[in-house]
Amino acid sequence: MKAPKNLQIAVAAQTGATSRPEPSTLGNVESGALVPLNFRVSSEFRRELKTYAATKDKAMVDILAAAIRQYIQDNP
């Protein structure tokens, strides 16, 4: 499954963050723990995703995660 062409994702800077975390702190997260992943999409795309998720009785994050996993698998 490919991402829609009209999907424009921009990485959002974390509020107050002035630099990237030190690599040594990135490994301190428990395996399997959920961590934030912030990005911006158009309001139209969000509405479309939210509507689709509601009709499938799924969480938006689950749909996005599945789509990203599929994209990575299809584009090694």
Which tens digit of pLDDT belongs to each residue from 36-68? Answer: 889 899 999 999 999 999 999 999 999 999 999
Identify the pLDDT of residue 51.
97
Q: CA torsion 21→23→28→31, rounded to 10°?
A: 110
Beta bridge partners of 10: 40
Where does the pLDDT of residue 34 fall: very low under 50, low under 70, confident under 90, or very high at 90 and above?
confident
Identify the pLDDT of residue 27.
64
HSE toward the beta carbon, residue 46, CA cutoff 13 A: 6
Which tens digit of pLDDT belongs to each residue from 5-21? Answer: 444 343 333 334 445 55
What pTM, to 2 d.p., does this model score? Answer: 0.58
Eight-state DSSP code of residue 56:
H
Better-predicted residue by pLDDT, 35 or 43: 43
**Domain limits, the chain:** 41-76
